[in-house]
Structure formats: C-alpha cells, structure tokens
C-alpha cells in the first residue's frame, strides 16, 4: 500500500524507517471499503447499507487495536466511519501501513518540514 503525500516533502517511503523514524507526521488513515460486491447484489438496499456500515465499524475497531496511540479524531460518523486523523512517527507509520483494514495513509503535514 502506497503512502500518499510523501512526495510533497521529497521523502521516500524507505526513509520513514531511517532518517524520519522519530519525526512526527500528521496523517489521515482511510478504511478499506467493501471489496466483495457480489455479496451485496442479492441484498435489498437497506440490507446493503447495514452490511457496509457494520463492516466499516468492524474495520475501525481493528484499526484502533493496532493504532499505537489514543490520540486520534474520527472521520465520518460513529455509524459510518471512514477513517481517522492522527499523529504518528515515521516508524509507527511503517508498522501499521500493511494492516488489512487500511486503504490509504495520507501525509497531511510532515513535522517541521516544508513543502
């Protein structure tokens, strides 16, 4: 999974584990949307909506179990979460980046570095 926004700061992903391992990044993590659409086709629209919302809530719970800090802000709603906003070090980002419930990690601000 690619980490978006690093190119604005001329940072390579591999540098997160070395040069920027202790640097703090403001990030946005988006949850993976429902992948198997064949399961949804036979359902009614109401049942689809309920199933998708339940999957998003379950994925948020699993993401928060591996998220290394308690400091984060919810994106979306409690009923239909789409991700979280938080602050992590480069090393922490690399540790969680391949979690199966994460669709995208977007770097919004790279510590004191300028674009």
- Whether 40 maps to a domain, the answer reads yes
- Whether 115 maps to a domain, the answer reads no
- Whether 51 maps to a domain, the answer reads yes
Question: Is this prediction's pTM over 0.85?
Answer: yes
Structural domain of 56: 3-110
State how far the alpha carbon of 55 is from the alpha carbons of 37, 49, 80, 88, in Å: 13, 10, 9, 25
- Whether 78 maps to a domain, the answer reads yes
Token reading at 93: 């980002």
> pLDDT tens-digit profile of 22-68?
999 999 999 998 788 888 999 999 999 999 999 999 999 999 999 99
Domain count for the chain: 1
């Amino acid at each position: 999974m690619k980490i978006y926004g690093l190119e604005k700061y001329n940072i390579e992903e591999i540098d997160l584990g070395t040069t920027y391992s202790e640097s703090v990044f403001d990030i946005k993590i988006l949850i993976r949307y429902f992948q198997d659409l064949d399961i949804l086709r036979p359902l009614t629209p109401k049942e689809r909506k309920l199933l998708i919302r339940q999957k998003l809530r379950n994925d948020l719970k699993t993401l928060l179990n591996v998220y290394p800090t308690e400091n984060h802000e919810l994106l979306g709603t409690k009923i239909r979460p789409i991700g979280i906003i938080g602050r992590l070090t480069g090393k922490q980002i690399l540790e969680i980046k391949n979690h199966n419930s994460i669709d995208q990690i977007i770097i919004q601000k790279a510590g004191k570095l300028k674009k």
